């Protein structure tokens, strides 16, 4: 378990962050650029000395201002994947990978060179120099290099930020593989909620150097702090469910969510796998009658639990669908026409093609 409670003044900017993350699993630090995420992971790594506070991993104290403890970065055993990969230009990929491994002789060797090379698909790159690699390849090497130093915690500082959309999509499965294969605690810094959705168990939402909210992904997806960051357009409840199997007629995957079934597009699913889906509030449709004669494949029955004004002309309708909750964005006009009210029975409709399910095998949440 990582426990950090640190404080750092940098010019006018005060970064004051406290969180604990359970291990193994991924803790996401989520927030806008410049909200103190990188400052926080720098302090955890030991590259920046906090003004006060403490940092612990399990029983090991890495930093404690009151007791004058400050373990140097090189002795912390914390891996760091930088946004700009920072591969050593004068060394081959193989020697980059071996750099940390050679210096980790005293640690238990849990991560084997061949395993890491295989998982990250680095075999063909070993003899090459970093200068000849693509952005995605460089980040994979950087991740492998950090892993082979046998860290007890891995920090990833927006590892996908420097990549274009396609490369990002290529690298995400590697990160999921990392999470699922090596039971290594990770702190993942991001300002893309989709990455958080796919990878993280626990989310720390940061705003202006402070923790605005924290909790599991499902809870945080409803958080006003998150809404303030992603904006109402990208707002959407995350639901977790269990894969039931492919629907024979449509080929879509069935996921049991609360009392209902959700049909989504997803690949390589096995029945029983835990899934996570985000339903964007603007993509959802409300019906006060059981729907008939519509092309929409998904209809989930539920009860309105809360109505919340979202700007002057729209409302967020929170709906309980038998445990999980959804948020639906409707216009003020629609709310009046349907006379929506708390306690009312409704059906939430969503197009299957607008949903993508993500396999999630981390610890349960929600």
Partner 1 sequence: MSTFSSCNQSSMLHGWSTADPMLLSADEWQALRLSLEVALWSLLWNLPVATAVAWLLVRRRFPGRALLDAFAHLPLVLPPVLTGYLLLVLFGARGPIGGWLQRVFGIHLIFTTAGTVLAVAVMTFPLMVRAIRLTLEGIDAGLEEAARTLGAGPVDRFFSITLPLMLPGILAGAVTAFAAGLGEFGAVITFVSNIPGITRTLPLALYTALQTPNGDATAARLAIISFTLGLVGLVLSEWLSRTLRRQLGRGIA
Whole-number minimum distance, CB 214 to partner 1, in Å?
Answer: 25
Whole-number minimum distance, CB 149 to partner 1, in Å?
Answer: 5
Whole-number minimum distance, CB 52 to partner 1, in Å?
Answer: 23
Work out the number of other CB atoms within 10 angstroms of the CB of residue 233: 10
104, 303, 334, 338: residue in contact with partner 1 (rule CB under 8 A) = 104
Which of 81, 85, 192 shows the shortest CA–CA distance to 133? 85
H or E element: which one contains 316?
strand 314-320
Q: Which is nearer to partner 1, 129 or 335 (CB)?
A: 129
Total residues at the site for partner 1 (CB under 8 A)? Answer: 30
Whole-number minimum distance, CB 99 to partner 1, in Å?
Answer: 5
In 108-235, which ranges are E strands?
A: 153-157, 186-190, 202-207, 210-216
Contacts to partner 1 from residues 117-176, by CB under 8 A: 129-132, 145-146, 149
Whole-number minimum distance, CB 103 to partner 1, in Å?
Answer: 4
Q: Which is nearer to partner 1, 85 or 299 (CB)?
A: 85
Q: Which tokens hold the place of 188? A: 């993942």
Cα angle for residues 169, 172, 177 (degrees, 5° grid): 145
Distance CA 318, CA 308 (A): 8
Distance CA 94, CA 133 (A): 13
Contacts to partner 1 from residues 28-87, by CB under 8 A: 45-47, 72-80, 82, 84, 86-87
H or E element: which one contains 113?
helix 113-119
Q: Which is nearer to partner 1, 44 or 252 (CB)?
A: 44
Q: Is there binding between residue 10 and partner 1 (CB under 8 A)?
A: no
Crossing angle of helices 165-181 and 135-148, in 10° steps, is 20
90, 109, 181, 345: residue in contact with partner 1 (rule CB under 8 A) = 90
Whole-number minimum distance, CB 160 to partner 1, in Å?
Answer: 18
Place of tokens 């059906």: 347
Q: Which residues bind partner 1 (CB under 8 A)?
A: 45-47, 72-80, 82, 84, 86-90, 99-100, 103-104, 129-132, 145-146, 149
């Amino acid at each position: 378990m990582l426990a950090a409670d640190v404080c750092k003044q940098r010019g006018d900017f005060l970064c004051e962050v406290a969180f604990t993350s359970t291990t193994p699993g991924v803790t996401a630090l989520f927030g806008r650029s410049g909200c103190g995420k990188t400052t926080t992971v720098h302090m955890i790594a030991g590259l920046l000395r906090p003004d006060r506070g403490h940092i612990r991993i399990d029983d090991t104290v890495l930093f404690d201002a009151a007791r004058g403890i400050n373990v140097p970065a090189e002795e912390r055993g914390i891996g760091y994947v930088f946004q700009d990969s920072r591969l050593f230009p004068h060394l081959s990929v193989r020697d980059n990978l071996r750099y940390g491994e050679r210096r980790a002789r005293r640690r238990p060797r849990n991560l084997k060179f061949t395993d890491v090379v295989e998982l990250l698909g680095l075999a063909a790159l070993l003899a090459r120099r970093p200068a000849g690699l693509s952005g995605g390849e460089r980040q994979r090497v950087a991740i492998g290099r950090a892993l082979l130093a046998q860290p007890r915690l891995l920090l990833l500082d927006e590892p996908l930020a420097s990549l274009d959309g396609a490369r990002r999509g290529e690298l995400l499965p590697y990160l999921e593989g990392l999470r699922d294969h090596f039971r290594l605690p990770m702190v993942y810094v991001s300002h893309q909620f989709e990455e958080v959705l796919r990878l993280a168990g626990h989310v720390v939402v940061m705003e202006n150097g402070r923790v605005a909210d924290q909790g599991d992904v499902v809870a945080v997806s409803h958080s006003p702090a998150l809404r303030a960051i992603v904006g109402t357009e990208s707002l959407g409840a995350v639901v977790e469910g269990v894969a039931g199997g492919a629907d024979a007629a449509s080929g879509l995957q069935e996921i049991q969510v609360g009392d209902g079934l959700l049909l989504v597009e997803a690949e390589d699913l096995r029945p029983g796998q835990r899934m996570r889906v985000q339903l964007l509030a603007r993509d959802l449709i409300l019906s006060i009658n059981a729907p008939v004669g519509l092309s929409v494949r998904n209809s989930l029955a539920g009860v309105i639990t809360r109505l919340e004004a979202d700007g002057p002309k729209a409302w967020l309708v929170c709906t309980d669908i038998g445990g999980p909750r959804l948020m639906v964005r409707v216009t003020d006009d629609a709310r009046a026409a349907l006379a929506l009210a708390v306690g009312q029975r409704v059906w939430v409709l969503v197009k299957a093609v607008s949903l993508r399910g993500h396999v999630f095998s981390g610890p349960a949440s929600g």
